[in-house]
Amino acid sequence: MIPHAIAMLPSTAMLPSTAMLPSPAMLASTASLGPKFALIVPEIVVFAGAVVCAVMGLSQSRSTRAGVPWMAVATLVGTFVVMLKVWTPEAAAAAELPMPLLGKYVIALLCVVGVGHVLASAGSVDRAIERQVASGTGAFDPVRVISGEFHAFLLFSLCGAMLLCHATDLVWLFLAFELCSLPTYVLVAIGRGADRSMEAAIKYFFLGAMSTATMLFGFALLYGATGTLELSAMREAFQMQAQVGGIGTVAIMGMLFTVIGICFKLAAVPMHFYAPDVYEGASNPVAAFISFVPKVQGFVTLVLLLGTVGWDASGNAAIPQVVAAVLWMVALLTMTLGNIGALLQRSAKRMLAYSSIANSGYMLTGILAGPAIGVDATLLYLLTYGVANLATFGSLAAIERNGHEVDSLDDLAGLRVRAPMVATALAIGALSLTGIPPLVGFWGKLDLFMASAESGQRALLVAMALNSGIAAFYYLRLVAGPFVAEPTPRTQGVAPVQSLWPRVSALVFAMGCIVLPFAANQLKQESAAAAMNGPAAPPAVRTAEK
C-alpha cells in the first residue's frame, strides 16, 4: 500500500514551478482591471437591454412585441443615468485610460442620438406582419418577426462603440470595433425587407471584411514594431524610437494600413465607394444609423491609435510626416469628392450618403489639427452632425409615398402642403448641415475652421470653405423642394407614415439644431475635456459669443 501511496504523490515535475506562478507585473495588470471594469456598467446595461429586446420580440403577446422599441429607449435612458453615476474623473483616472473622459462624452452622445434612431424606426419594423396579425388574416410566426432582433442589434452596435472608449490594448480595441461593426451589416439586411437591402448588405459585409483585414494587418505590424499590444507601452516604445532615430518603417506601414481600414467606417477616400449603394438599399432609419455611429466608432479608434505614435499628454502633435501627409490627402479628397458626388444625385439618400462622405473629410481636418485644438473640434462636430443628420433622415423616415419609402427628391416637391411639420424639420436639418447660423451646425463648422487656422492648416481651411459653399447647393434642394416647388401629380401619394414617433424624432432633433447653440460654450467645454489625453490639464477652450 505504501508504494502505491508514494506513487500517487505528485512528482516534482508536476509541482508548480516559479516560472508558472504569476509574475508581479501580471498581478499588477490584473489588479488594474478592477477600476476599468467598474466603468463598463453602462455597457452592461446596454447589453442586458439588447438581450431583453430580443426575447420580447419573440413573445406571443402583441402588446409585448409592441413594447420592444420602448424597452430599447428605456435601456438607453438607463445607460445615460448609470453613466452619470459611475463615470467620474476619479474613476476614469483610476482606470488609467488613454483619454479618461472620452467615454463619458461618447456614451452620452450615443445614448441621446440612439434614442432618436429608435424613435425614427418605430412603426416601420414588422409593420405588414403586425397588421396581418391584428386583422386576423395572418398568424403570428416568431420566425418572420424581426423587431426584437432589429433593436437588439442596434443596441449591440451602440455597446461596441461605447466599449471602444475603454480600450487600453489592441485586443480590446479590435473586439469592440467588431462588436460595433457586425450588427450594422445585419441591420442593413433586415431593416427594409427588400432584395435591394440584401444586395446592399452583401456589399457592405464583404467590403467591411476587407477593411477589417486591412486594419488587422496594420495591428500586426504595430505589434511587430513594438513587441506589445498595450497602447501605453506602445506609446513609450515609439517615443524611444523617435529619440533614437525616428519611428521605424514597419510601424509607419502598420499605422497606414490601420488608417486605411478605419477609412471604411468613416466612408472616407479610398474606402468610400460603397456608401451611396448601401444607403440607398437600407431603410431610412438604418441609413441614418450607419451614417453616424460608424463615424463615432472610426474617429474614436483613430484618435486612440494616433495617440500612440506622436501625441503626448501635453497635447503636442508629432504625428509622423508620412501619416500626416496621408491623412491630409484623405481629408482633401474625401470632402471634395463627396460634395461633387452629391451635386449629381436625384436620390435623397444617395445625396445624403455623399454628404456623409464630405463630412468625414471635414472632421479629419480636426484630427490633423492635433489633440490640443483639433480633436475637441472633431468631437463637437460629431455631436452637431449627429443632431442635424437625424433631423434630416428622421424627416425622410416620417413620410411615405403610396406605402413605400420616399427617396427621390421629386417626391419632396410641395411637402409643406401635405406634411408641414416634417417639411420644417427637414429644412432645419438641411440648413444646419449647411452651416447656416445660428443653427448648431454653424458652431461645429466654426470650431473646425478655427482649429485649422490655429494649427496652420491653411490649405485645408480654404478647401473646407470652398466645399462648404458647394454643399450649400445640394442641401438647399432639401429646403427649396418642400417650400418653393409646387406639388405635382407624383407627390399626390406622399403622406406622413402611420406611426407618430418618426415625426417626433425629426421635430425634436430639429429643435435641437435651434436650441443647442445656446449651450455652445458648455458643449465645447465637454468636448475639450473629452479630448484630454492622459493626465494633462484640459486644453484651452475656444469660445464664441452667441
Strand order of the β-sheet with 399-401 is: 404-405, 399-401, 494-496
The long-range contacts involving 419-424, CB below 8 angstroms and separated by at least 24 positions, are 419/494, 419/495, 419/496, 421/503, 421/507, 422/395, 422/398, 422/496, 422/503, 422/506, 423/395, 423/482, 423/483, 424/507, 424/510
- Label residue 216 by pLDDT band (50, 70, 90): very high
- 211 close to 203: Cβ distance less than 8 angstroms: no
pLDDT single digits (tens) 477-530: 999 999 998 988 888 889 999 889 999 999 999 999 999 999 999 999 999 999
Q: Residue 546 pLDDT more than 90?
A: no
List beta partners, residue 494: 401
pLDDT digit string, tens, across residues 366-387: 999 888 788 999 999 999 999 9
pLDDT digits (tens, 9 = 90+) for 51-73: 999 999 998 888 899 899 999 99
Q: Residues of 471-481 as b/e, b for ≥16 C-beta within 10 angstroms?
A: bbebbbbbbeb
* pTM for the model: 0.90
Contact 119, 501 (CB under 8 A): yes
Q: Over the stretch 230-271, which tens digit does the pLDDT of each residue have?
A: 998 998 888 888 888 778 899 999 999 999 999 999 999 888
pLDDT at 133: 76
For 59-66, the CB contacts below 8 A with 24+ separation are 60/140, 62/130, 62/133, 62/134, 62/140, 65/126, 65/130, 65/145, 65/147, 65/148, 66/130
Residue 165: alpha-carbon gap to chain centroid = 12
Burial class of 6 by CB neighbour count within 10 A (0 to 12, 13 to 18, 19+): exposed
Cα gap 426→423, rounded to integer Å: 5
How high is the pLDDT of residue 534?
Answer: 52
Q: Checking phi first, is residue 15 left (phi over 0); if not, alpha (psi -120 to 50) or beta?
A: beta
Containing 538, the helix (H) or strand (E) segment is none
Q: What is the dihedral of CA 256, 257, 263, 264, to 10 degrees?
A: 170
pLDDT digits (tens, 9 = 90+) for 442-470: 999 999 999 999 988 899 999 999 999 99
Query: What is 210-227 written as a DSSP string?
Result: HHHHHHHHHHHHHHHHHS
Instruction: Please give the mean pLDDT across all residues of the chain.
Output: 87
- The whole-angstrom separation of Cα 85 and Cα 59 is 33
320 has a pLDDT exceeding 60 = yes
Cross-strand bridge partners of residue 347: 408
Q: What are the strands, taking DSSP E only, across 383-477? A: 399-401, 404-405
Q: Which position has the higher pLDDT, 471 or 139? A: 471
Residue 170 near residue 231 (C-beta atoms within 8 A)? yes
Burial 9-29 (b: 16+ CB within 10 A, else e): eeeeeeeeeeeeeeeeeeeee
Burial degree of 234 (CB within 10 A; 0-12, 13-18, 19+): buried
Q: How confident is the model at residue 29 (pLDDT cuts 50, 70, 90)?
A: very low
Q: Which amino acid is at 62?
A: R
pLDDT tens column, 143-178: 788 889 999 999 999 999 999 999 999 999 999 999
